[in-house]
Amino acid sequence: MQKLADEIKVNLKNRPFPLGTSKWNKIEHRLFSYISKNWQGKPLINREIVLNLIGSTKTKKGLSMTAVLDKNEYKTGIKVTDKKLSQVNLKGDNFHPEWNYTVIHN
């Protein structure tokens, strides 16, 4: 994120909702109910079916979504050293700075 912030010369804000709290995200909460209705009773036998059902979901007011399968493989168990983390220009927010922070561009 630091590299991207520096390249585009923009501060990047990170404000994820903690696991299990998607109900706080009003748009996500609204869309999930429509997705559930859309694929009700349909067997989810492969990823293509899931993506198509999500992508064809729309609310009554026209809110729609796009779903794309990310086929990239990502390394797991990567440890970020204190030295590497100190190179990121982070500013924690007042509310839960462990989750919400800004990466300041250099």
Name the percent of the chain in helix, strand, coil, to the closest 5: 35, 10, 55
What pTM did the predictor assign? 0.54
Q: Beginning with the edge strand found earlier in the chain, give each strand of the sheet holding 90-92 in spatial order.
A: 12-14, 101-103, 90-92
The tens digit of pLDDT for each residue in 15-50 reads 876 666 666 667 777 777 778 887 888 888 999 988
The tens digit of pLDDT for each residue in 41-90 reads 888 899 998 898 888 888 888 888 888 999 999 999 999 999 999 999 99
Q: What is the DSSP string of 64-95?
A: B------------SPPPPHHHHHTS-EEE-SS
Q: Angle CA(62)–CA(71)–CA(98) in degrees, nearest 5?
A: 75
